[in-house]
Amino acid sequence: MKIEQVHTLVNSITEEVTGESDLLNEDLSNVVQVGKTVQNIDGWQNKFVQALVDRIGRTVFVNRPYAGSAPKVLMDAWEFGSILMKISSDLPEAVENESWELTDGESYDPFVYKANTADAKFYNGLVTFEIDKSILDRQLKSSFANASELNAFISMIFNEVEKSLTIKNDSLVMRTINSFIGDTFYDLDNTGTYSGKTGTRAVNLLYMYNQKFGETLTAADALYTPEFLRFASFTMSLYVKRLSKMSTLFNIGGKQRFTTPDVLHTVFLDEFAQAAGVYLYDAANQFNSESLKFPSAETVPFWQGSGLNYDFTKTGAINVKTGAGHTVTASGILGVMFDRDALGVCNQNSRVTTQYNAKAEFTNYFYKRDARYFTDNNENFVVFYVA
């Protein structure tokens, strides 16, 4: 056991927390224990009998399950065949009703053929990965006091695999959404300039707010400004209603589509959702809180990653090359709304295979995962952002 004298440190800490001293540079390397591996065991000998090694008094396994947080876009699966074919049709045009335009002696042919137009998209891509883990048959027994401890250790190892799989699966779902976000920004402006403009699919709430009210609000301050948040709530709620009506305005392909609330996915950035909850509603009930509520939504902590400090410039940003091959860097993304058929994960197949090595007496576990991730720019997809 390595003993450290820390009286000098705790005295200076007391001065800091009682306001007697400015913040100091604190060396906590000898106070806060981050754990050691077996390879770095120096100093673990008994303090008074140097030949003895301190005994493990308690074993704690870090075995906490991880649920994940990706939006629920999982679709169906199939066992045979490969290609996903997605078929859609267009609205037919109206023609003259001749029953009210009859002329004596004219012939009216009822056998005119009207073709049924249809589009078909084919998806035949698959992504796959695996995580391998080996479990020793006999060798591990020497490290534990009983079978219960050994089983707990193995359970912890497999739980780490499951958490890794969950994180990777969530990330792939988010990359599917990010790809569509990127294509929507590219459709607005293929030069990479997204500030100072807005569209019907890439909706710059900050630009719209400043233009409408003659303000000069910045993206950095928008989430802390109740007036802006009320405007954002108003605009997003309108979009829920607008998307439910047949229109060509809300998909890149210009197809006649509608998205009713029961098939509408809404995903907000956590910071945006939390800001709405804290800054939007007036404590004195000055506003009708029911009217101010944002659409019901799933939330995500970030679109691509947290960065080093969870700064909004990182959590609200993407830097991707989309499935369509467009390179897009964008920030200030607050949320998305999209149709159930706009993107998804289908034919997901997770499985575990094993192989026992009789010579070396260990078992290999192969955690395999296949899935198809798709987007369809003929379906409704809207991005809300500030820039």
- Number of H helices and E strands in the chain, helices first, is 8, 12
In a domain, 108, yes or no: no
Nearest Cα residue to 92 out of 200, 253, 246: 246
Residues 141 and 246 occupy one common structural domain: yes
Tell me: pLDDT of 131 over 50: yes
User: What token pair was written down for 155?
Assistant: 């359970």
In a domain, 184, yes or no: yes
CA distances from 280 to 219, 220, 223, 274, 337 (A): 17, 17, 10, 10, 21
Please report which helix (H) or strand (E) contains residue 188, including its range. Answer: helix 147-188
Tell me: pLDDT of 336 over 90: yes
Residues 156 and 45 occupy one common structural domain: no
Residues 49 and 131 occupy one common structural domain: no
**Position 307 confidence tier, pLDDT thresholds 50, 70, 90:** confident
**Position 241 confidence tier, pLDDT thresholds 50, 70, 90:** very high
Domain that includes residue 273, residue range? 127-385
Residues 241 and 357 occupy one common structural domain: yes
CA distances from 227 to 232, 292, 293 (A): 9, 11, 14
Residues 131 and 262 occupy one common structural domain: yes
> What backbone phi and psi angles, to 5 degrees, belong to 96?
-65, 135
Q: Across residues 115-143, what is the average pLDDT? A: 80
**Position 328 confidence tier, pLDDT thresholds 50, 70, 90:** very high
Q: What is the mean pLDDT of the chain?
A: 79
Domain count of the chain?
2
Which of 99-103, 317-321, 378-382 comes out lowest in average pLDDT? 99-103
Residues 40 and 140 occupy one common structural domain: no
pLDDT digits (tens, 9 = 90+) for 85-100: 777 777 777 777 778 7
Tell me: pLDDT of 309 over 90: no
Q: Please tell me what DSSP assigns to residue 261.
A: G
Of 38, 55, 72, the last residue of a domain is 55
The per-residue pLDDT for 354 is 94
Residues 142 and 17 occupy one common structural domain: no
Residues 205 and 343 occupy one common structural domain: yes
Tell me: pLDDT of 17 over 50: no
Give percent of the chain above pLDDT 70: 76
Of 55, 79, 96, the last residue of a domain is 55
Residues 145 and 250 occupy one common structural domain: yes
Q: Across residues 172-198, what is the average pLDDT? A: 92
Tell me: pLDDT of 132 over 80: yes
**Position 293 confidence tier, pLDDT thresholds 50, 70, 90:** low
In a domain, 121, yes or no: no
In a domain, 147, yes or no: yes
pTM of the model as a whole? 0.78
Q: Which of 121-130, 162-171, 231-240 has the highest mean pLDDT?
A: 231-240
Residues 26 and 145 occupy one common structural domain: no
In a domain, 111, yes or no: no
Q: CA 363 to CA 130: how far, in whole Å?
A: 16
User: What token pair was written down for 315?
Assistant: 């959590």
Q: Across residues 62-83, what is the average pLDDT? A: 65
The per-residue pLDDT for 375 is 86
For helices 226-243 and 205-213, angle between their N-to-C axes, nearest 10 degrees: 110
The per-residue pLDDT for 16 is 35
In a domain, 83, yes or no: no
Tell me: pLDDT of 79 over 90: no
Residues 349 and 217 occupy one common structural domain: yes
Give percent of the chain above pLDDT 90: 34
Residues 156 and 265 occupy one common structural domain: yes
The per-residue pLDDT for 15 is 54
Burial class (CB in 10 A: 0-12, 13-18, 19+), 69: middle
The per-residue pLDDT for 288 is 47
User: What token pair was written down for 18?
Assistant: 């009682």
Which of 85-94, 106-115, 363-372 comes out lowest in average pLDDT? 85-94
In a domain, 75, yes or no: no
Of 13, 34, 55, the last residue of a domain is 55
In a domain, 338, yes or no: yes
Q: Across residues 38-55, what is the average pLDDT? A: 55
The per-residue pLDDT for 38 is 45
Q: Which of 19-23, 137-141, 258-262, 293-297 has the highest mean pLDDT?
A: 258-262
